[in-house]
């Protein structure tokens, strides 16, 4: 089983301008992310960007970089261009690691790629972790996933699913005992053939309602496999508070997430 990691990186960010190049212990964030991804079993790690400063930073630190168009609406569309530019075989596996994940667990990257490799009929694999508190279950910013047989996603939602009818009948927000509630983790493995199809798929009604891109694949009949992680992995960097937290971890050298 072989796979590559592609890290889509753009400079625009409303909460953290220039986020990929923000310093973490003397290195840009996107470089830290690439170095962490290189600890996985990937045969190749590259950064896909439309920004010259990001490209220069990657090249300066010996990381392969590919310049892409500036008009991609999503990171998946950027990956589609990469798959075409590199002329990847339709069955080639591409893992999408976000550029703001400097603490990404290399073992999780391997697990998602392996899951997809084991199911030749699937085009996408992702991961989820058990929800252990009511706050996460009812948080609309925390995406939940419900799976059916063979760990295949049935639906993704910002709503608290599955809904524990009896436990929640009194209107109180609680985590029902034994509820199979799973938090979706935004790490994806794709087959290159699917990536090339993705830009041509029309956004679906469910995708627009929930504002969740992965629902486009489900609506179009592409199965999504879900790897069950044992615990919620380290968070990425989305806010100034996240940046301060991660910078503190790098004060004494880069941390190693649990494997």
Put simply, whether the predicted model's pTM sits higher than 0.85 gets the answer yes
- Calpha distance 232→32 (Å, rounded): 20
What average pLDDT does the structure give for the chain? 93
Residue with tokens 């609506």: 219
Average pLDDT over every residue of 167-189:
94
For residue 150, how far is the Cα from the chain centroid? 21
Q: How confident is the model at residue 254 (pLDDT cuts 50, 70, 90)?
A: low
- The DSSP output letter for 221 is T
Among 188-202, 216-230, 241-255, which is the least confidently predicted range?
A: 241-255
C-alpha angle 142-157-221 in degrees, rounded to nearest 5: 135
DSSP letter string, 85-140: HTT--TT-EEEE--TT-TT--HHHHHHHHHHHHT-TT-SEEEEEEE--SHHHHH-T
- Calpha distance 82→68 (Å, rounded): 8
Which run of H or E residues covers position 28? strand 27-28
**Cβ pair 83, 17 in contact under 8 A:** no
Tokens matching residue 143: 């995406």
Average pLDDT over every residue of 63-74:
92
Average pLDDT over every residue of 22-47:
97
DSSP lists the bridge partners of residue 144 as 157, 183
pLDDT at 134 over 80: yes
User: What is the predicted pLDDT for the residue at 258?
Assistant: 41
């Amino acid at each position: 089983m072989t796979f590559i990691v592609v890290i889509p990186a753009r400079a625009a960010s409303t909460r953290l301008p220039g986020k990929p190049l923000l310093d973490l212990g003397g290195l840009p964030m996107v470089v830290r992310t690439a170095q962490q991804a290189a600890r996985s079993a990937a045969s190749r790690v590259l950064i896909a960007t439309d920004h010259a400063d990001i490209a220069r930073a990657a090249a300066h630190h010996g990381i392969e970089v590919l310049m892409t168009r500036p008009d991609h609406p999503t990171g998946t569309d950027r990956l589609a261009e990469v798959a075409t530019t590199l002329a990847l075989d339709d069955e080639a596996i591409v893992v999408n690691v976000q550029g703001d994940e400097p603490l990404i667990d290399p073992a999780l990257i391997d697990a998602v790629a392996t899951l997809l490799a084991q199911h030749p009929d699937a085009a996408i694999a992702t991961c989820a972790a058990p929800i252990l508190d009511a706050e996460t279950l009812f948080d609309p910013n925390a995406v939940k996933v419900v799976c059916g047989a063979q760990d295949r996603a049935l639906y993704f939602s910002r709503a608290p699913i599955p809904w524990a009818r009896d436990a929640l009948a009194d209107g109180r927000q609680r985590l029902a005992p034994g509820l199979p509630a799973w938090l979706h983790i935004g790490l994806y493995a794709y087959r290159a053939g699917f990536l090339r199809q993705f830009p041509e798929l029309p956004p679906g009604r469910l995708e627009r309602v929930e504002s969740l891109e992965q629902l486009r694949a489900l609506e179009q009949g592409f199965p999504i496999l879900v790897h069950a992680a044992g615990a919620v992995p380290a968070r990425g960097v989305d806010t100034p508070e996240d940046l301060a937290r991660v910078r503190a971890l790098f004060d004494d050298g880069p941390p190693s997430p649990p494997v």
